Amino acid sequence: MDLNTSTAVQDTLHQAKGDVGSDWIMHHILDSHQLDIAPFGSIQLPHLSLFGLDISITKHVVFLWLVAILLIIAFKIASNAYKKSMVPHGVANFLEVLIVFVRDDIAKPSIGKGFEKFLPFLLTVFFFILFSNFVGLIPNGATITSNISVTITLAVISFIVVQAGGIIKNGPLGYFLGLIPSGVPWWLLPVMFIVEILGLFTKPFALAIRLFANMTAGHIVILALIGLIFFMQTYFVAPVSVAFALFIYLLEILVALIQAYIFTMLSALFIGMAVHQEH
Amino acid sequence: MAIINNLAFLAFSGGGESSGGLLDVNPGLIIWTVITFVLLLVLLKKMAWGPILNSLNERETFIKDSLDKADQARIDAEKLLEENKANLAKAEEEAQKIIQQGREYSEKLKVQLLEESKAEAKKMIAEATSEIERKNQEAFNNLKDQVADIAVSAAEKIIRTNLDKEKQTKLVDEYLNDLNKN
């Protein structure tokens, strides 16, 4: 594609922007101080600050709490079901499949011996991301995992759990000495040390960026496809846009599951590497 | 590439009035996320993961125990069946032995009885023979007596009648005829 066409397209879009703009895409993706309830307008959220720090209850904070409440309700129902009978029904049965999946297919093979200690963290992370991703797919919902602040926080918590697990298991000195693989020539040690320390931080960074990018990309693509109808200002593009948007939406459902799985899987893997340093 | 850059620029530069760009980190949201996540972790651990994982483990051990028990029961049943079979075979053998013994006994009894009856018969035959012998002897003795008597009575008659030859002969014949008739 040559530069002329690209500038032509850009001009067209700039022109279109005059009418519709692309603010609305970012408005859907980014955090804001108003909660949209589509056909009924929007609610203005309060600004709060503590010691000069902005701790406003923003749209993403509201959805953060919504996810937390949904999680608590779902698992309260599930754990109550086990009090009644050993055989789960309904919600408990569905959640049990996922719990057993996290336990037997993520935690057990990745961490190995002593995986039970990390199970609460892994389960919470898995279901938190899963619920967040799915809440974001609901109309009017906001995807909190497409906000980099949230994914960075999750990655940092995962990082802390990994390091704490390694240090508690191997002792502070043993853990940091164990970071360097055995059989490395002595003159490589300083380089290896730097590389390994760097590696510790790149892992959670990758976790945060991966989750954020995956959850953001799908939404932007869906919004852009729908936006085509308004940019082009024609009804003829609508069937194509809607078909593609639906396809991406279905893909998003898959991505929502996969990203929850990958984040948990990699956290478990890093925990396993930190706890059992032999390999 | 250029178009992608331009589109990206368009997309990323759009969110002006919202709280910054796509990659802006918001400390307030981080604080809320930490608080919410940690609270969630603690709450769910106490409320859900503990009880659910416990009951999962309980159920797994229960199922495992049940399976083990069932397996044990099957092994026991098999052993019992084997024992029963062995007992049955032993009983069969016992019965066969008893039948065999009975048969042998009856055979022996038969032979013995036969032997005994043969001996009895022999004895009876011998007795009968001696009886016949004795009877014969008796009859012979009787006959001898009778012959003597007859001879004496014939002699008497001869003497009583006249002693002519003709008469004599006739008398003897007559007498002999009489004798024959008797």
Does B33 touch chain A if contact means CB atoms closer than 8 Å? yes
User: Which residue ranges make up each domain of chain B?
Assistant: 27-181
Q: Is the pLDDT of residue A246 over 70?
A: yes
3-class secondary-structure state, position A35:
strand
What would you report as the CA-atom Rg of chain B, rounded to the nearest whole angstrom?
68
What was the pLDDT predicted at A10? 61
**Which of residues B18 and A104 earns the better pLDDT score?**
A104
Q: What's the Cα-to-Cα distance from B25 to each of A152, A220, B8, B29, rounded to whole Å?
A: 9, 19, 20, 8
Instruction: For residue B59, give the nearest of A78, A86, A95 by CB distance.
Output: A86
Instruction: For residue B55, give the nearest of A3, A5, A82 by CB distance.
Output: A82
What was the pLDDT predicted at A14? 58
pLDDT in tens, A24-82: 777 777 777 777 777 777 777 777 777 777 777 788 888 889 999 999 998 888 888 87
**What integer is the mean pLDDT of A222-240?**
83
**What integer is the mean pLDDT of A246-270?**
91
What was the pLDDT predicted at B70? 95
What was the pLDDT predicted at A51? 77
Decide if B16 and A53 are in contact by the 8 Å CB cutoff: no
Tell me how close the Cα of B67 comes to any Cα of chain A, in angstroms: 16
ipTM of the complex: 0.81
The size of chain A, in residues, is: 279
Does B60 touch chain A if contact means CB atoms closer than 8 Å? no
Decide if B11 and A64 are in contact by the 8 Å CB cutoff: no
Q: For chain A, give the percent of residues with pLDDT over 90.
A: 14
Does A29 touch chain B if contact means CB atoms closer than 8 Å? yes
Nearest to A75 by CA among A121, A127, A122: A127
**Which of residues B4 and A184 earns the better pLDDT score?**
A184
Q: Are B48 and A91 in contact (CB under 8 A)?
A: no
User: Which residue ranges make up each domain of chain A?
Assistant: 65-275
Decide if A82 and B52 are in contact by the 8 Å CB cutoff: yes
From chain A, pick out residues whose CB is under 8 angstroms from the CB of B18. Answer: 23, 26-27, 30-32
What was the pLDDT predicted at B87? 95
Least reliable range by pLDDT among B34-48, B60-74, B113-127:
B34-48
Summary mean pLDDT of chain B: 83
Instruction: For residue B6, give the nearest of A10, A58, A154 by CB distance.
Output: A10
pLDDT in tens, A73-127: 988 888 888 777 777 777 888 888 888 898 888 888 888 888 888 888 999 999 9
Can you tell me the distance from the alpha carbon of A26 to that of B22, in angstroms, rounded to the nearest whole number? 8
Q: Is the pLDDT of residue A1 over 60?
A: no
Does B166 touch chain A if contact means CB atoms closer than 8 Å? no
Does A58 touch chain B if contact means CB atoms closer than 8 Å? yes
Instruction: For residue B3, give the nearest of A1, A99, A100 by CB distance.
Output: A1
The size of chain B, in residues, is: 182
Decide if A25 and B47 are in contact by the 8 Å CB cutoff: no
What was the pLDDT predicted at A264? 92
Does B58 touch chain A if contact means CB atoms closer than 8 Å? yes
Q: Which segments of B94-133 are extended strands (E)?
A: none
Least reliable range by pLDDT among B80-84, B139-143, B166-170:
B166-170
**Which of residues B134 and A93 earns the better pLDDT score?**
B134
Torsion of CA A260, A261, A267, A270, to 10 degrees: -150
What was the pLDDT predicted at A13? 58
Decide if B43 and A120 are in contact by the 8 Å CB cutoff: no
